[in-house]
Amino acid sequence: MLAIKLKRIGKKHQGSFRVVVAEKRSKMVGRFTDDLGWWNPRTDKFDVVKERALEWIKKGAQPTPTVHNLLITAGILSGKKIPVHHQPKKSAEVAAPAAPAAAAPAAPVAQKAPEAPEAPAAA
């Protein structure tokens, strides 16, 4: 399966990327089928050839989430962006007590009658 993904180029700590069409499971340093453009995250500038990108999508190439968001920003695709950042999972302990408390109404608590003070013991 083909994918439209980013291939890193550039120096250490000054990375920029090529937008390429390659096999989904291929390594990012390997061969690619077509070069569609570039993206520099440091300056947030990019250039993608619209016609070739749409042609590869029609042929069945799936863009990665980051490339999908880049294509939406470029106006090539329409729709919502995909959240790429890591979203922490809630632990089962925190999520479990909140659900039953909200679903069930609070039951009235029976109050205990006050006890009478005890008399001091005679010695």
32 inside domain? yes
95 inside domain? no
92 inside domain? no
Judged on CB neighbours under 10 Å (0-12, 13-18, 19+), 118 is exposed
CATH of the domain at 65: 3.30.1320.10
Contact 7, 20 (CB under 8 A): yes
Number of domains in the chain: 1
16 inside domain? yes
Pairing, β 2-11 against β 62-63: parallel
Q: Which domain holds residue 12?
A: 2-74
- Confidence (pLDDT) at 123: 60
Sign of CA pseudo-dihedral 57, 58, 59, 62: positive
120 inside domain? no
Average pLDDT of each block of 10 consecutive residues along the chain (123 residues)? 91 92 81 90 92 93 93 91 82 59 60 69 66
Judged on CB neighbours under 10 Å (0-12, 13-18, 19+), 6 is buried
Contact 59, 36 (CB under 8 A): no
Q: Which residues of 51-76 are buried (b: 16+ CB within 10 A; e: fewer)?
A: eebeebbeeebebbebbbbbbbebeb
104 inside domain? no
Q: Which residue has the tokens 């390997």?
A: 30
113 inside domain? no
Using a cut of 0.85, tell me whether the model's pTM lies above it.
no
90 inside domain? no
